[in-house]
Structure 1
Amino acid sequence: MNEATPLLERLTGLRERVARLVEHRSADDPTAGDPMRGLYLPEEAIWRLLSLPPATPDTVDAAYATHAVHAGREADGADGSDGADGSNAAGASHTAGPVGAVDRLQRLAQRLRLSELDTGILLIALAPDLDRTFEALYGYLNDDVSRRRATTGLALDLSGVPAHAAVGRARFHASAPLVTLGLLVVEEPERPFLSRALRVPERVVAHLLGDDTTEAALDGTVRPLPDAGTRALSAAGSDGLVPLLAARLAAGPCTVYLREHREGDGLSCATAALGAAGIGALHLTPGAGDRPQGERPHGDHTPRQDIPYAEVLREARLSGRAVVVTSLPERPQELIRALSASDVTVLLAGTRPYDPHWCDTGAPGGEPLVLDAPRQRAGNLEAWTAALGGSPEAGGGTEPGFDLTPVVAAYRLGHEGISRAARAALDLAAFDGTPLSAAHVRLAARQQSASGLEQHSRRIRPDVTWDDLVLPEKPLAQLHELAVRSRNRERVLGDWRLSAGGGRGRGVLGLFAGGSGTGKTLSAEVVAAELGLDLYVVQLSSIVDKYVGETEKNLERIFTEADRTDAVLLFDEADAVFGKRSEVKDAHDRYANMESAYLLQRLESFDGIALLTTNLRGNIDEAFTRRLDLVIDFPFPDQPQRLALWRHSLVHVPCVDDIDPSACARDFELAGGSIRSAVVTAAYAAAGRGEPVTNADLLAGAQREYRKAGRLVLDDVDW
């Protein structure tokens, strides 16, 4: 059989349906036999259309039910599908349209404060999109069978307004409510005024028929802002600004600029306030640009050139929602001017201070209300619990099977970030086929902290625990204290108001001082693992620049990214950057001191977690030391600690039964890093022979580390 045969058979069935429809419509059509039918409309045809009963839910259902009988039979014979079901579904949709349209039209008119004349004109222009008979009727009244839409003159006639009345003609002006609100389009401006066609945009028609799908032109630019929910708002609502802003938003449309300390603060505040006020919102990111997110460096807020701001405002008006704008372009004047409207609430969020020149004098939306957005709280336990399904509203009803408080304490994610992280954590747990665990939550939360730190640092995904540290009690206790400070800084410095003021941040700064190989970097990795954060090791070669001012710029980029990222920042060999200031004897000393002065000021406002390591504590400027929360000294290990380090390094290594590293620990004064290197050397030697590690292998490894350090090695050690 030819491959085209099934398609031709379907066309045969369609032809039969068309024939039945022609027969049905021509049964009482006085122009059915007229050879000029379709080229003009005689008066008897118009009266016939006017004599037809109006389209009501009952008549529509009946018509579709009658057609469904024939369509269903044809569909059963053609492809075996249930045509009657499809027709009935279409009929139900068509039925729901007019009923919903009347209610929605009234609500829209009330919300936008349209006059009775404007509402009537909108309905006149809308009629051909809802009932086909109005096409013929309008063609007859327009004295042109091809002009099947209402014209300005026809709308005035049907409204009972004289064509020469200024009040009527003003309804179609470019500044008239229907036009400026995007509800009506006056087409064909080259025609005389009374013959210009009126069209209602498809999105408005769809909304009036009950379809709330966002316009396709806004895809990728605007999306609904998720509702924060009651439980998720409780922590945010504890800040005095949120309830005050919610009350202002509930009072009526306004324009607000939220100044952010950290990117995301404004969106979190806006989400909380809108949720408390019971107002939905659309989220617009004009600075996201045309390129995919991965192809744009962070901080690139080049505005998109194709954002239909008029459609954004129309979408907000149709749904009665506000517009929240983040990622503002470098020059937001055009954006603010385009979104300025007295009937739509617009909330703008940005890190830059507000500039009065951004707003035109006398703009419809007026001067914005400028507020400082409260900082996002770390460890918003109630928001996390709700997002993970700990409340019936979230679709769950069970608390996580582990203590969530220490797991999420270090994450400064807003409501949207928490929602994404929670969904990702649940997906990871489902993928693993296991109950949700702390590891799932931490991995998902780290994925939300994408940053540009990789440009100047090396990321380490921590894979160590406290068991991997062999340290004396004092530095170990201080490391635990460092983790406690990192988890509770919001409560102590924020809620208990123990921040020193003066614009100081809520960061945690620690200095690890000790000889090479004493465990400083490993300790930083353990702290990051305890907090569930990634560790970023700053590469000094990528930030130190010979040109004046460039080093400070590179450092500023790092601190800015660290402020907006949940991560631990590690400055290894920090004395290269945080060294002591010297007496100014030449220009080099002056500029070196400027770098130190910049770092001192920047550490004051830092909000993240930064760790510094140095082999020589005395090289660090005392001014830096004063700003540190903890200074932890890593002593050189004594013999018992060296033995513990040897044994810890051999835990996963196959060894002979009589292995005993006691002699190596006694005779070779090596730090932890050197001991590990010695064990690696011994393991390679044993692997090459295909045998377990022996005492001789350990001795050879220890001797090699001694030689590397330039120390004397006796070849005839008595074992």
Structure 2
Amino acid sequence: MRTERSPAPDGPFADTAACLAALARLAAWHLDLGKAKPGVGATRLRLRLDRGWSRFEERAEASFTHGPFIPWVHVCALFQLERLDQVALVMALMAELDSSFSAHLRQLSGAAAEGEGGGVPCRALARMLGGGADLSVALGEDGPLRRWVLVRTGPGFDAAATVGSFRLDPAMAAYLSGRAAPRPRLDAPLVAVEPVPLDQLPVSDGVRRPIQRFVALCLRRDEAPAGYLLLLQGPDTPLQERICAAVFAALGLGCLRLDGRAVRASAQVMARADHLGRLRLLCRDLLLCGQAVMVVNAHDLTESEDDTGLRDLMDALLSSQRVMAVVGGPRRSLMDAAHRFAGHRVTPAPVIVDLPDAALRRRIWARRLAEQGIVAPEGADTRLAEAYPLTDEAVALAVDDVAAQLNLDPEAAVEPLLAEACREQSRRQTLDVAREIRSDRRLDEVVLPSRQRGVLAEVLAHVRHRRAVSEDWGFAALSGGASGLCVLFHGPSGTGKTMAASAIATELGLCLYKIDLSSVFSKYIGETEKHLARLFDHAEAMNVVLFFDEAESLFARRTETRDSHDRYANLQTGYLLDRIERYAGTVILSTNLLKSVDQAFLRRFRFIVDFPFPGPEERRAIWSRVFPPQAPRADDLDMEALAENLVLSGGNIASVALSAAYLAADSGQAIAMRHVLQAAQAEYLKLGKLFPTEEFYSGTTA
């Protein structure tokens, strides 16, 4: 009696064509089984199919382990397809590749109408499996074939009742046959981020070490399914994107940027079920293409009360992607999504990418200047690094701007050009709850008593030398790492508080932004914190001086807690104070009512400068410089008398001078004493004060 021996496995498939040929042979045997009548012949066909599939699976395993890359093998491993799943998939593939095979399927189904438009009739598949198979296991909505859109079903499809037909997704047909890979997309294809080796990125060791540990975690072999979520936070978004690309490259993956705004827009124009299907299709294509996704603008997915948009996206990604990253976004919500994911264990890795310290910034400046061939004065890189804590991208753009200017004027002074380019980079972003105050005032133009001028000089010294004191001399460790500066100006209106803030920013070569407090605070819980987080993150990236005017409305004495509104108001104030103290730059607050400010708040300011109402000596100095040199002035202007008799603040004096200039221009004359007195009378009227007509010197009429 002769026994049939099973041939030895042939090892890995040579290429995609060899794999497809083996699949075509299996599909033909299934077709034969579907046509066979019950009996010995059908039994032998089942045995041959079982041996054939076992042999195919051994070769697929060898191909997966040793190569070469075979799309079919890759798909089966990615989506963990069982044999029944593979039988359904190969029938759909053969129906796409061979029109005669599709005709046999329609004939086998016994109902031509089911086969119209191509595809695989459920009735035909059931017969080719020899009966007894539950098609709903492979073709149910939750099965991998339909969940990941490997196949698409026709109208009236019901796997359990073997009604209807299914066909291969067109993108899968191209992929499995080796013709083309799908391009991950929502409404438009996702954009790739080109990688740079991690050791070439301008990051501190405090950032590099946790990133390297994250890569090591992802490379280890897990006994059970596991996922890894990299959460990057900080002001330099472009650098964080490059870090993601470097991490993914170290894991053998490409990096694609997924914008949360695009996800939100997609969700708004379709039913939620359709949107979830689109997200699964995106996840499928990411897996097929060996790409990892980096989500940006995730905050835009948190607008609903329960963060449905963010939850839907994270569930889809975490269920399919072993490694992913989010740049920025709501850290607490993202951490919760990882910990609560039910499919498998997900390890979140939050990393804060701070602005580079002065030492790293010096290296960035030196490298960027060398790349452009710009020779700066000795020590310029150190001075720029200390004055402008810019990101690597901002430094590169500033240097590019100066290089362009030097092409037109090679003899131009380099360092002033670099300083101005740095200020322009600080203005690249906009603060939607603040406006820039532009001024070229210098500190020596601010009229104040000598004691107050000395304190303002200390403020400048503190900012200019804080890197040396905090970092080089080690005082940052004693102060909890805080290196920013918080200053309070107080005094009557018009005494020069805003002018002094502008002068400090000018002396430091920085931009000054005045905060609109009404735009920051919200009655909705959590919205104020969100606004403040964005404000301070953007301000740190821009490296600007923040100016909170009329701060008494913000830092008033803590309200007695009578209800939840009072409690929340106190929480908002506390959160803002915390962000101000952690701000890496300079914050100036001004108030007209120091007595209204809680003493507990006052202790948080390093400098408190009082701006007194100007006396005769200060008013004399203000009047002496209030008229521009080019403004025509009559000989009868008596600055001494004006300073002595017009008891006005600096702001009011400036208003009087401007009004007098318009009166003189309208009369076609130089600015005379009568114009000034007429303007002063109007100013006194606005203030509700009595104009000192009789006290003014004799011989002058208003």
Identical columns (%): 20
Q: Which residue of 2 aligns with 1:478?
A: 458
Q: Secondary structure at the match of 1:562?
A: helix
Q: Which residue of 1 aligns with 2:243?
A: 272
Matched, 1:522 2:522: no
Q: Which residue of 1 aligns with 2:427?
A: 446
* Mapped contact 2:229–2:338 kept (Cα < 8 A): no
Q: Which residue of 2 aligns with 1:351?
A: 330
Give 1:467 shift: 6.2
Q: 1:466 aligns with which of 442, 467, 470?
A: 442
Q: 1:255 aligns with which of 227, 230, 233?
A: 227
Give 1:339 shift: 2.7
Q: Secondary structure at the match of 1:480?
A: helix
Q: 1:615 aligns with which of 592, 607, 624?
A: 592
* Alpha-carbon displacement from aligned partner over 1:635-684 (angstroms, at most 9, x marks no partner): 55566654553344323642248697653575355432223112202211
Q: Secondary structure at the match of 1:353?
A: helix
The aligned amino acid for 2:284 is: R
Give 1:263 shift: 7.5
Q: Which residue of 2 aligns with 1:687?
A: 665
Cα distance between partner residues in 2 of 1:110 and 1:182? 14
Q: Which residue of 2 aligns with 1:238?
A: 206
Cα distance between partner residues in 2 of 1:424 and 1:303? 45
* Alpha-carbon displacement from aligned partner over 1:66-121 (angstroms, at most 9, x marks no partner): xxxxxxxxxxxxxxxxxxxxxxxxxxxxxxxxxxxx96737945983878988998
Matched, 1:565 2:531: no
Q: Report matched runs for 1:136-175 at 5 Å.
A: 136=100, 138-139=102-103, 143=107, 163=130
Cα distance between partner residues in 1 of 2:405 and 2:92? 53
Q: 1:603 aligns with which of 529, 552, 577?
A: 577
The aligned amino acid for 1:522 is: M
* Alpha-carbon displacement from aligned partner over 1:222-261 (angstroms, at most 9, x marks no partner): 544564665773315532422222322344785345678x
What TM-score does the superposition give when structure 2 sets the normalisation length?
Answer: 0.62
Give the paired residue count: 580
The aligned amino acid for 1:353 is: R
* Mapped contact 2:486–2:606 kept (Cα < 8 A): yes
RMSD value over aligned CA atoms? Answer: 5.8
Q: Report matched runs for 1:323-338 at 5 Å.
A: 323-325=293-295, 326-327=298-299, 328-329=301-302, 330-331=307-308, 332-338=310-316
* Mapped contact 2:81–2:144 kept (Cα < 8 A): no
Residue 112 and residue 591 in structure 1: after superposition, are their counterparts in 2 closer, same or farther (change >3 A)?
closer
Residue 347 and residue 682 in structure 1: after superposition, are their counterparts in 2 closer, same or farther (change >3 A)?
same
* Mapped contact 2:634–2:670 kept (Cα < 8 A): no
Cα distance between partner residues in 2 of 1:258 and 1:661? 70
Q: Secondary structure at the match of 2:368?
A: coil
The aligned amino acid for 1:249 is: C
Q: Which residue of 2 aligns with 1:628?
A: 605
Give 1:314 shift: 1.4
Cα distance between partner residues in 1 of 2:675 and 2:400? 48
Q: Secondary structure at the match of 2:458?
A: helix
* Mapped contact 2:105–2:124 kept (Cα < 8 A): yes
Q: Which residue of 2 aligns with 1:341?
A: 319
- Which segments of 5 or more consecutive residues in structure 1 lack a partner in the other structure? 1-101, 296-301
- Which segments of 5 or more consecutive residues in structure 2 lack a partner in the other structure? 1-67, 410-416
The aligned amino acid for 2:332 is: P
Matched, 1:716 2:694: no
Residue 718 and residue 597 in structure 1: after superposition, are their counterparts in 2 closer, same or farther (change >3 A)?
farther
Give 1:474 shift: 1.2
What TM-score does the superposition give when structure 1 sets the normalisation length?
Answer: 0.61
Q: Secondary structure at the match of 2:345?
A: coil
* Alpha-carbon displacement from aligned partner over 1:99-154 (angstroms, at most 9, x marks no partner): xxx9673794598387898899878755787x7xx335644675589666577899
Matched, 1:673 2:637: no
Q: Report matched runs for 1:255-654 at 5 Å.
A: 255-256=227-228, 272-278=243-249, 279-286=253-260, 290=264, 306=275, 308-325=278-295, 326-327=298-299, 328-329=301-302, 330-331=307-308, 332-341=310-319, 343-348=321-326, 350-351=329-330, 353=332, 358=337, 363-364=342-343, 366-374=344-352, 376-377=354-355, 390=368, 397-398=372-373, 418=393, 438-439=419-420, 442-443=423-424, 445-451=426-432, 453=433, 459-466=435-442, 469-471=445-447, 472=450, 473-481=453-461, 483-484=463-464, 496-500=476-480, 508-528=485-505, 530=508, 532-533=510-511, 535-539=513-517, 559-566=532-539, 568-580=545-557, 599-600=573-574, 602-606=576-580, 607-608=582-583, 610-637=587-614, 642-651=619-628, 653-654=630-631
Residue 543 and residue 467 in structure 1: after superposition, are their counterparts in 2 closer, same or farther (change >3 A)?
closer
The aligned amino acid for 1:478 is: E
* Alpha-carbon displacement from aligned partner over 1:618-644 (angstroms, at most 9, x marks no partner): 543321111112212335556665455
Cα distance between partner residues in 2 of 1:560 and 1:493? 30
Q: Secondary structure at the match of 2:319?
A: coil
Cα distance between partner residues in 2 of 1:489 and 1:407? 17
Q: 2:170 aligns with which of 178, 201, 207?
A: 201
Q: 2:99 aligns with which of 118, 135, 147?
A: 135
Residue 170 and residue 616 in structure 1: after superposition, are their counterparts in 2 closer, same or farther (change >3 A)?
closer
After TM superposition, the structure 1 stretch with the greater mean CA deviation from structure 2, 687-696 or 355-364, is 355-364
The aligned amino acid for 1:565 is: H
Cα distance between partner residues in 2 of 1:340 and 1:711? 74
Cα distance between partner residues in 1 of 2:654 and 2:135? 89
Give 1:479 shift: 4.1
* Mapped contact 1:266–1:350 kept (Cα < 8 A): no
The aligned amino acid for 1:280 is: G
* Alpha-carbon displacement from aligned partner over 1:182-218 (angstroms, at most 9, x marks no partner): 4444656358869944313337737986767745544
Residue 510 and residue 105 in structure 1: after superposition, are their counterparts in 2 closer, same or farther (change >3 A)?
same
The aligned amino acid for 1:538 is: D
Q: Secondary structure at the match of 2:632?
A: coil
After TM superposition, the structure 1 stretch with the greater mean CA deviation from structure 2, 226-235 or 324-333, is 226-235
Residue 212 and residue 447 in structure 1: after superposition, are their counterparts in 2 closer, same or farther (change >3 A)?
farther
The aligned amino acid for 2:211 is: V
* Mapped contact 2:204–2:360 kept (Cα < 8 A): no
Q: Report matched runs for 1:20-39 at 5 Å.
A: none
* Mapped contact 2:150–2:172 kept (Cα < 8 A): no
* Alpha-carbon displacement from aligned partner over 1:504-547 (angstroms, at most 9, x marks no partner): x776421012333221112233445656445234356x8899xx
Cα distance between partner residues in 2 of 1:360 and 1:449? 35
Give 1:610 shift: 3.8
Cα distance between partner residues in 2 of 1:317 and 1:109? 9
* Alpha-carbon displacement from aligned partner over 1:250-284 (angstroms, at most 9, x marks no partner): 44785345678x78799976752552452433344
* Alpha-carbon displacement from aligned partner over 1:19-50 (angstroms, at most 9, x marks no partner): xxxxxxxxxxxxxxxxxxxxxxxxxxxxxxxx
* Alpha-carbon displacement from aligned partner over 1:441-488 (angstroms, at most 9, x marks no partner): 54454343444x2xxxx6234243436842454143134246448989
The aligned amino acid for 1:682 is: A
After TM superposition, the structure 1 stretch with the greater mean CA deviation from structure 2, 507-516 or 438-447, is 438-447
Give 1:317 shift: 0.7
Residue 518 and residue 404 in structure 1: after superposition, are their counterparts in 2 closer, same or farther (change >3 A)?
farther
The aligned amino acid for 2:215 is: A
Cα distance between partner residues in 1 of 2:514 and 2:400? 27
* Mapped contact 1:682–1:698 kept (Cα < 8 A): yes
Q: Secondary structure at the match of 2:697?
A: coil
Q: Which residue of 2 aligns with 1:66?
A: none
* Mapped contact 2:558–2:570 kept (Cα < 8 A): yes
Cα distance between partner residues in 1 of 2:197 and 2:346? 27
Cα distance between partner residues in 2 of 1:162 and 1:592? 70
Give 1:685 shift: 1.5
